[in-house]
Amino acid sequence: MTVIVENDVRLLRRLLVCLNYGEMENVVKLDTYLRQVRELNFQLSRYIPEAEWPRYLNRFNQEEQLLARQYGFVWLPDHVDTIFLNRKWKNPFTLYVRLLQVITELGELGELFYQPKAERPPDWADQVEEMKHFYRGRVPTPEQVKKLSIVERLARWASKK
């Protein structure tokens, strides 16, 4: 049985944060790291039948149980403990998204702080470039204009007929 350390617990919470934000690629990365490198044995609540959840949550008060149900939890069978995402931890700026040590092999996900992409301030330069690209795609080429005019002429002719 692997000895679990606080950094692992925080990575498990980071996994739940990514899951809540729909960052599935990051979920897979964290899951793989925790299972294969850290050799942790854990179960995500989404793979546990909901009817069985009470046995994993009965230690917690009502508010905590609601949070665990809403945001999901991680069951550690070897350690008989449940990790859940307190609403205070859901804020990407809070302490518990902060790792105690950097995991370089996880790249951005292994940095002390990780902010879900949806929570990041918009990068205006990127957005302007995206808009330009979008509108460029909508401006018809001369050939398209020509084809359009032929189609229009045909349509008019058809309507007169």
Partner 1 sequence: MPIVAGDLLYKYTGAGSHNAAQTDPNASLGNFRASSLITDAADNNVFDDVSGGESAAGDTEYRAIAFHNNHGSLPLTAGKVWISADTGNAEDDISIAVEVPAASETTGAIQTIVNESTAPTGVSWSDATTKVTGLNFPGSGADVAAGDWFGIWLRRIISVGAAAQSAESVTIRCEGDTAP
Asked if residue 102 binds partner 1 (CB under 8 A), the reply is no
Q: Which listed range, 2-10, 15-23, 31-39, 135-143, lies at the site for partner 1 (CB under 8 A)?
A: 2-10
- Asked if 37 interacts with partner 1 (CB under 8 A), we say no
- Find the binder of partner 1 among 2, 5, 118, 153 (CB under 8 A): 5
Q: Are 91 and 57 in contact (CB under 8 A)?
A: no
Q: Which is nearer to partner 1, 5 or 128 (CB)?
A: 5
Sole window of 8-16, 49-57, 117-125, 127-135 interacting with partner 1 (rule: CB under 8 A): 8-16
All residues at 6 or more sequence positions from 89 whose CB lies less than 8 Å from its CB, including other chains: 13, 17, 96, 97
Structure tokens at 154: 């045909």
Between the alpha carbon of residue 61 and those of residues 52, 68, 80, the distances in Å are 17, 11, 17
Does the footprint of partner 1 cover residue 86 (CB under 8 A)?
Answer: yes
Q: Does 113 bind partner 1 (CB under 8 A)?
A: yes
| Residue 107 C-beta: closest distance to partner 1, Å | 20
Binding of residue 55 to partner 1 (CB under 8 A): no
Contacts of 26 (CB under 8 A, 6+ apart): 18, 109
Residue 111 in contact with partner 1, rule: CB under 8 A: no
Q: Look up residue 1 and give its two tokens.
A: 């049985």
Residue 14 sits in the site that holds partner 1 (CB under 8 A): no
User: Which residue(s) pair with 81 in the sheet?
Assistant: 76
Residue 43 interacts with partner 1 (CB under 8 A)?
Answer: no
Distance in angstroms (rounded) separating the CA atoms of residues 37 and 109 = 15
- The residues binding partner 1 (CB under 8 A) are 4-6, 9-10, 13, 59, 76, 79-81, 83, 86, 88-89, 93-96, 98, 100, 113
